[in-house]
Amino acid sequence: MSRKLARETAMKLIYQMEIQRDISKEAIERAIEEYPDEPKDHEYIRDVLYKYLQHQQEVDEVIGRHAKDWKIDRIAKVDLSIIRLAVVEILYREDIPHSVSINEAVEMAKNYSTDESGSFVNGVLGNIVGTRE
């Protein structure tokens, strides 16, 4: 599995946990067990998911402040999962350039959501990175 596929897997797991309303260490471990064995990728997936689990409130507050005119509960769940993953990378992963997190998130939005989602995701993440730099 490549980093791109690992990132997509992490996004899908965030989405799955949101839909099932089970955001826990146990849910993360169960979900990771279902994916092909690639220890390096499992390490990345665990890291971003545990960081999301640990900082979920802060991640959502950051998104809420930067999603202009959007309440977090009104953002499409797929888009929100993509944005949450990118925000975790931006805030808590120094080894991933912000531009990579944004570009990968926009590509995921184009592939997994609506035609407008790429622009929306880009705008929210651009606002977040712009205020951090």
For residue 12, which of 102, 107, 77 has the smallest C-alpha distance?
77
Instruction: Tell me the average pLDDT across 44-58.
Output: 94
Listed by start position, the domains of the chain span 3-132
CATH number of 3-132: 1.10.940.10
The pLDDT tens digits for 104-123 are 999 999 999 998 999 999 99
Q: Is the pTM of this model over 0.85?
A: yes
pLDDT of 37 reads 63
Indicate the pLDDT class of residue 68, thresholds 50, 70 and 90. Answer: confident
Sequence-ordered list of residues with C-beta below 8 angstroms from that of 95, at least 6 positions apart, any chain: none
Give the chain's radius of gyration (CA, Å): 14
Instruction: Tell me the average pLDDT across 4-21.
Output: 90
